């Protein structure tokens, strides 16, 4: 007989805590080194409060890692800015790049910033109730453009994996999410961005389903 995974009940609190999580990752402000274009502003912030929490992720991962299982979790990204850039997560593409993901916003105001391997960007603003579908092959990161914590839940195929270095290899995403001086966010060109070669793009766009 087939060995079935046991059904589970989890609970997400209004503050983004997940009961029954199986893994947690906490990133301090100092851990965000290299993400922001304004390096002197980042160093000043680290000197002031580098040990403060920047974001935390709690996830529930079923016992078996198989394409037909799902990983579910919560992400809480705290508010702040480095120069005119908003706090953001490190971001990633899935190691199996053809695996998609869903994000649901519980609290705060954020942007799901997405970039295709060819550098085409697609940032989408999220407020409580927003659901963003991150399709296969898109690099994605959360940006907090609000005043309070930006809290989301996410769900993706259990075998997706995360490649956290893809953004760093290109000098960041092609665009920065910055404050426009009027209390709103805007995309700005990232001067450090290095486009991916066509061979690299093709490699990321290869389907590895199954
Ligand atoms: Zn993801």
Q: Are 145 and 84 in contact (CB under 8 A)?
A: no
pTM, two decimal places? 0.94
User: In the chain, where are the structural domains located?
Assistant: 23-207
Q: Which of 36, 149, 175 is nearest to 44 (CA)?
A: 36
pLDDT band at 154 (very low <50, low <70, confident <90, very high): very high
End-to-end CA distance of the chain: 23
Q: Could you tell me the distance, in angstroms and rounded to a whole number, from the CA of residue 155 to the centre of ligand 1?
A: 8
Q: Could you tell me the distance, in angstroms and rounded to a whole number, from the CA of residue 47 to the centre of ligand 1?
A: 31
Q: What is the mean pLDDT of residues 49-56?
A: 96
Alpha-carbon distance 85 to 73, whole Å?
26
Q: Could you tell me the distance, in angstroms and rounded to a whole number, from the CA of residue 101 to the centre of ligand 1?
A: 6
In this prediction, residue 64 carries a pLDDT of 67
Which residue carries 């290899």 as its tokens? Answer: 169
Alpha-carbon distance 98 to 94, whole Å?
8
The rounded mean pLDDT for the chain is 94
Alpha-carbon distance 152 to 55, whole Å?
11
Name the phi and psi angles at 200, rounded to 5: -60, -45
Tens digits of residue pLDDT in 83-108: 999 999 999 999 999 999 999 999 99
Q: Could you tell me the distance, in angstroms and rounded to a whole number, from the CA of residue 182 to the centre of ligand 1?
A: 31
The helix/strand/coil state of 47 is: helix
Tokens of 75: 């992400």
Q: Is the dihedral of CA 117, 93, 106, 185 positive or negative?
A: negative
CATH, range 23-207: 2.60.120.10
Name the phi and psi angles at 40, rounded to 5: -65, -40
Q: Could you tell me the distance, in angstroms and rounded to a whole number, from the CA of residue 134 to the centre of ligand 1?
A: 8
Residue 66 clears pLDDT 80, i.e. is over it? no
Tens digits of residue pLDDT in 104-142: 999 999 999 999 999 999 999 999 999 999 999 999 999
Angle at 50 between CA 45 and CA 51, to 5 degrees: 155
Alpha-carbon distance 70 to 152, whole Å?
16
pLDDT band at 210 (very low <50, low <70, confident <90, very high): very low
């Amino acid at each position: 007989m087939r060995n079935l995974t046991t059904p589970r009940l989890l609970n997400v609190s209004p503050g983004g805590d997940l009961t029954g999580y199986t893994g947690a990752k906490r990133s301090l402000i100092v851990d965000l080194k290299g993400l922001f274009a304004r390096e002197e502003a980042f160093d000043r912030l680290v000197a002031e409060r580098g040990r403060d929490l920047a974001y935390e992720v709690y996830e529930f991962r079923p016992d078996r890692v198989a394409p037909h299982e799902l990983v579910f979790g919560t992400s809480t990204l705290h508010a702040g800015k480095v120069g005119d850039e908003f706090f953001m997560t490190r971001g990633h593409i899935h190691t199996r790049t053809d695996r998609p993901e869903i994000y649901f916003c519980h609290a705060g105001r954020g942007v799901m910033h997405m970039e295709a391997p060819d550098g085409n960007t697609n940032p989408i603003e999220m407020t409580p109730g927003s659901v963003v579908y991150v399709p296969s092959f898109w690099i994605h990161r959360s940006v907090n453009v609000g005043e309070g914590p930006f809290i989301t839940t996410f769900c993706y195929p259990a075998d997706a994996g995360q490649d956290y270095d893809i953004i760093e290899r290109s000098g960041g995403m092609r665009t920065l999410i910055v404050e426009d001086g009027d209390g709103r966010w805007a995309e700005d060109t990232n001067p450090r961005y290095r486009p991916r070669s066509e061979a690299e793009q093709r490699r990321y766009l290869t389907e590895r389903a199954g």
